[in-house]
Amino acid sequence: MYSIEKNLYLTAANRLSGTKIIVIGDLILDEYLFGEVNRISPEAPVPVVWIRKEKRTLGGAGNVIKNLSRFGVTSVVLGRSGNDETANTLKELLTQEKTHAEGNKILLSENVPTILKTRVIAGHQQVCRIDREETHSLTSVEEAELFRAFSERIDQADAVVLSDYDKGTLTPKLIWDIISLSVSKKKIVTVDPQVSHFFHYEKASILTPNHHEAGKALGRKLETNEEVETAAKEIAVRLGSPSMMITRGEKGMSLYLAAEDKTYHIPTVAKQVFDVTGAGDTVISAYTAFRAAGLTELESALVSNVAAGVVVGKLGAETVSLSELQEALEKRGILA
């Protein structure tokens, strides 16, 4: 069992409120329609959902921002939305989080709508999901504008998160430019990757794919510890990255550190799993926040593993507070 010295954890946790992280990626608005099912439709063999409650919240890169905000971290938001009413809701929700409003840069596009994902939930069961989106890559003008905004803000940041949902914001050129500048300035840069871009994230500090994504990128299944160890090292070497994390669902996560040429297998801590929506956002948020606040790669991975274990016990793309996180770390014997 791996552990973290409690004083080191508390010192890092206290630093979070003074930490600033740039989040750049695909902004999504998530809508939840909660209801009950009492009958089948006479029009088709489908359930009739009687809606009792509605909720809209930040999704995609916005969920990373929401997670960081719960930790007390200030985010600087860079991304793209449509020029529509949904974008207004997105901006309103961002103002409720701990973001650097004057430093945020959200491009308003006439070519794409603001992405809206609607989930219909009856009881604890998701009945269906409705996606409203058009996926187009940034234009060269938009690429230049977003990178200029990034370059003007990087010096004041402690770390950078690339939240890639493959919706067109993170183009290969923008990925290369952002990581290159971040590395040159010795900034931590973490990536929640998309398979389509997998080997564009050269020199990133760490990638945090799940085992399906990592396996798909390599063209093979990753099931055993040995297969995951080989894959994590192979990806890290190909990218020239110092570390690589593969999340594995009920098997926990595996962290490869190039400096030690060693993989650490961290068992899951989840007791109940209601919904895995947004768990990857929690992992990268917790890892980046605590890494920027001074914990090691392994210590930050331990924290992110416990954080993910808490959120999958909640319904929807939820977050974990610092008090919940510390309680969970102590309960599971991680803080020594």
Distance CA 83, CA 286 (A): 31
Distance CA 68, CA 42 (A): 46
Residues contacting residue 118 through CB under 8 Å, at least 6 positions apart: 31, 32, 33, 129, 130, 131, 132
Contact between 74 and 159 under an 8 Å Cβ cutoff? The reply is: no
With b meaning 16 or more CB within 10 Å and e meaning fewer, what string describes 127-157?
eeeeeebeeebbeeebbeebbebbeebbeeb
Residues contacting residue 184 through CB under 8 Å, at least 6 positions apart: none
Residue 281 bears catalytic tag = yes
Contact between 22 and 158 under an 8 Å Cβ cutoff? The reply is: no
Most distant pair of Cα atoms in the chain: their distance: 63
- Catalytic residue of the set 30, 192, 275, 281: 281
Distance CA 168, CA 149 (A): 17
Distance CA 36, CA 202 (A): 47
* Residue positions annotated with a catalytic role: 281
